[in-house]
């Protein structure tokens, strides 16, 4: 598979993952472009024996997002501004109900990313665990915890 | 709403990348070379096995592109001190300089490790002349293309400069001025990093290991291996500790919504 084919095939996955992980579509667009720039530089290192292209791209996207979170935290600390004030697009997906949107917003970034990987991208536990750098059991536990929180939030909203 | 319902609704979510992002990623992907023999952003690595007597041959650096070039040579020589002097002479004659020289001599054996910086244009000649100092025991060449990274940095700088221009066109509030200052500082940092990369790529690094005499017979394998095993165990523990610390930092970072 060429890089162009991989980029075309998995762009939505990477963007979706980053949009849910960061909770901000504008930021997700920037990070997606950065992920693919990095992927192009590192394409020669991709080894299909060690996992799928999608898993590899998600791993890169996660690194890019963590770098962003770190720099954002430093910037916010420096400027004493809330990062939330800069968000301009709050929706995760058009088909979700407002209650579920709010419930998703209430999750931590770490919980949202596991939901994005396991539910939105439909990765199996092993692949998602590889992206997150944790064990499959731990990954499943995180997913269950996140789903339980969503369920509770929706129950309160109802 | 049960967990199953939550999951079902979440599974209906479709997130599609916007058209402008798709166009941007296609532009990025268009820079990837076609074919399987990638020269763009790739690392060539070649390791020669013991004892060819002919001069080492190094692949030529691609012209017109910025590359990081490194070579390692292991040679068996008749006299270490004499070989070191000649290696330094070859280096300075080609416009290079030694970064470090470490020589250890004993009555029947001697070793030397040299790290030399040679202008990239003369690196092939340098390797050829250095390999003539003795018998080649091992050789390795690393060639890494830096052009793609520099192109990406150029694009980032251009994007930031466009953002700065847009911000300058707005009414200059303290917040806007702060943003301009932050972006300007980022552009300056990127330009500095780019210049440093180009400077570093101008020279190739040649690591030369020289050895003379016959290697001593090792009879106490276990005793000899103990310090290595200890070092290995310490390295593994440090690695585990580092990974744990990184995991804890990431968890703390992702704890907030």
The string of pLDDT tens digits covering residues B96-136 is 888 888 888 776 778 899 999 988 888 888 888 888 888 88
The rounded mean pLDDT for chain B is 80
Flag whether B155 is in a domain.
yes
CATH of domain A3-157: 1.20.140.160
Separation CA A11–CA A54 (nearest Å):
9
pLDDT tens-digit map of B47-103: 333 434 444 555 555 556 788 888 888 998 888 888 899 999 999 888 888 888 888
Cβ-based neighbour number of residue A116 at 10 Å: 26
Give the N- to C-terminal CA distance of chain B in Å, as an integer. 22
- Give B 198-227 residues with CB within 8 A of chain A: none
The structural domains of chain A, with segments of one domain joined by +, span 3-157
Q: pLDDT confidence of A75, banded at 50, 70, 90?
A: confident
Q: pLDDT confidence of A39, banded at 50, 70, 90?
A: very high
Interface predicted TM-score (ipTM) of this complex, two decimals: 0.75
Q: Which residue of A has its CA nearest to B8?
A: A119
Cβ contacts of A20 within 8 Å, gap of 6 or more: A92, A104, A112, A113, A115, A116, A120, B15
Question: What's the half-sphere exposure (Cβ side, CA atoms, 13 Å) at A15?
Answer: 23
Flag whether B232 is in a domain.
no
CA distance A108 to chain B (A): 4
B32 touches chain A (CB under 8 A): yes
Cβ–Cβ gap A15/B15 under 8 Å:
yes
> Which contacts (CB < 8 Å, 24+ apart) does range B236-240 have?
none
Closest CB from A25, A110, A147 relative to B251: A110
Share of residues in chain B with pLDDT > 90 (%)? 9
Pair B77, B178: CB distance under 8 Å: no
Q: pLDDT confidence of B218, banded at 50, 70, 90?
A: low
Which phi and psi (to 5°) does residue B41 adopt? Answer: 70, 30
Q: pLDDT confidence of A104, banded at 50, 70, 90?
A: confident
Pair B71, B139: CB distance under 8 Å: yes
Res B241 pLDDT > 90: yes
Q: Name which residue leads in pLDDT, B89 or B45.
A: B89
Flag whether B50 is in a domain.
yes
Q: pLDDT confidence of B242, banded at 50, 70, 90?
A: very high
Cβ–Cβ gap A106/B257 under 8 Å:
yes
Closest CA to A9 of A34, A30, A31, A39: A39
B189 touches chain A (CB under 8 A): no
The total of structural domains in chain B comes to: 1
Flag whether B23 is in a domain.
no
pTM of the model: 0.47
Separation CA B168–CA B171 (nearest Å):
8
Domain of B139 in residue numbering reads as: 37-217
Closest CA to A28 of A62, A4, A71, A55: A62
């Amino acid at each position: 598979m060429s890089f162009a084919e991989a980029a075309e095939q998995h762009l939505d996955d990477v963007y979706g993952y980053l949009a849910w992980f960061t909770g901000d579509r504008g930021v997700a667009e920037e990070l997606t472009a950065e992920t693919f720039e990095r992927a192009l530089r590192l394409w020669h290192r991709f080894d299909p024996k060690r996992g799928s292209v999608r898993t590899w791209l998600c791993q890169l996207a996660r690194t890019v997002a963590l770098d962003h979170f770190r720099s954002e935290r430093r910037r916010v600390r420096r400027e004493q501004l809330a990062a939330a004030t800069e968000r301009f697009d709050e929706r995760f997906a058009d088909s979700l109900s407002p209650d579920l949107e709010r419930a998703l917003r209430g999750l931590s970034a770490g919980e949202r990313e596991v939901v994005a990987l396991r539910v939105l991208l439909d990765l199996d536990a092993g692949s998602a665990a590889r992206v997150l750098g944790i064990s499959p059991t731990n990954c499943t536990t995180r997913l269950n915890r996140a789903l339980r929180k969503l369920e509770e939030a929706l129950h309160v909203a109802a | 709403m049960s967990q199953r319902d939550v999951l079902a609704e979440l599974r209906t979510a479709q997130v599609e990348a916007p058209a402008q992002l798709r166009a941007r990623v296609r532009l990025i992907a268009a820079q990837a070379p076609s074919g399987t023999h990638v020269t763009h952003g790739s690392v060539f690595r070649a390791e020669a096995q013991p004892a060819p007597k002919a001069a080492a041959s190094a692949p030529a650096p691609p012209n017109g592109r910025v590359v990081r070039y490194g070579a390692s040579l292991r040679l068996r020589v008749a006299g270490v001190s004499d070989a070191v002097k000649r290696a330094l002479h070859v280096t300075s004659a080609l416009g290079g300089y030694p970064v470090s020289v470490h020589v250890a001599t004993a009555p029947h054996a001697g070793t030397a490790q040299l790290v030399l910086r040679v202008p990239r244009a003369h690196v092939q000649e340098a390797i050829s002349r250095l390999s003539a100092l003795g018998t080649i025991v091992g050789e390795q060449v690393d060639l890494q293309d830096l052009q793609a990274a520099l192109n990406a940095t150029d694009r980032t700088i251009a994007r930031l400069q466009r953002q700065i221009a847009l911000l300058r066109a707005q009414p200059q509030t303290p917040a806007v001025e702060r943003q301009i200052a932050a972006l300007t500082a980022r552009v300056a940092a990127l330009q500095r990093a780019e210049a440093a990369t180009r400077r570093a790529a101008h020279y190739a690094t040649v690591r030369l290991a020289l050895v003379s005499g016959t290697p001593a017979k090792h009879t106490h394998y276990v005793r000899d291996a103990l310090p290595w095993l200890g070092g290995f165990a310490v390295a593994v523990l440090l690695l585990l500790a580092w990974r744990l610390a990184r995991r804890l930092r990431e968890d703390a970072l992702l704890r907030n919504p």
